[in-house]
Amino acid sequence: MRPLTYVCGTAFFSLVASACAASGRAHGPSGNPCDRGLVGQADVAGIMTSPVAKMEALDGDPQSCVFSNALHDRLTVMVRPGLGDLTVSSWETGQMNGSATPMPGVGDRAVWQDTLNEVIATKNDVLCDISITGSPGTAAPQAKKRLGDLCNTIFSRL
């Protein structure tokens, strides 16, 4: 597998970085998904085992926002136009560091990365990438389904 490079606010191969930079498509509407009303605290309630205490922009990434709880666990939401198809395909074909399983019924195509508690979905080439990080047991038992549903909600609000 190729090494990952941090590009356009998310982990991509250097090959994807070139496409991202050349197309300029990683820059979409201004404002992160929270500011744009694509996702809010009510949408993420119950996905983490401890209630959300704070919602904020992700420093250095205008297309992402973070929900955190008192334990400093985080649910990160990224929405990137023009990068969905390529990103999901990279996971589907095993080009990313780690395996992913298909998630039928989410967007046009989606995968779940179990180690990262992350859904990676595309609809109309818009990337919805949502992950939960923190202490063991941070993700509620139904987190995988809820994150997939949350991507579908975000896609419906675009």
Tens digit of pLDDT for each residue in 97-110? 899 999 999 999 99
Beta strands 101-102 and 5-7 are: unpaired
Mean pLDDT lowest among 20-29, 58-67, 88-97, 144-153: 20-29
Identify the band that residue 30 occupies on the pLDDT scale cut at 50, 70 and 90: confident
pLDDT surpasses 70 at 12? no
Output the pLDDT for position 103: 98
pTM for the model stands at: 0.83
- Tell me which architecture the domain covering 5-157 has in CATH: 3-Layer(aba) Sandwich (3.40)
Are 28 and 80 spatial neighbours (Cβ–Cβ below 8 Å)? yes
Q: Is it the case that residue 19 has pLDDT exceeding 60?
A: no
Convert the pLDDT of each residue in 109-137 to its tens digit: 999 999 999 999 999 999 999 999 998 88
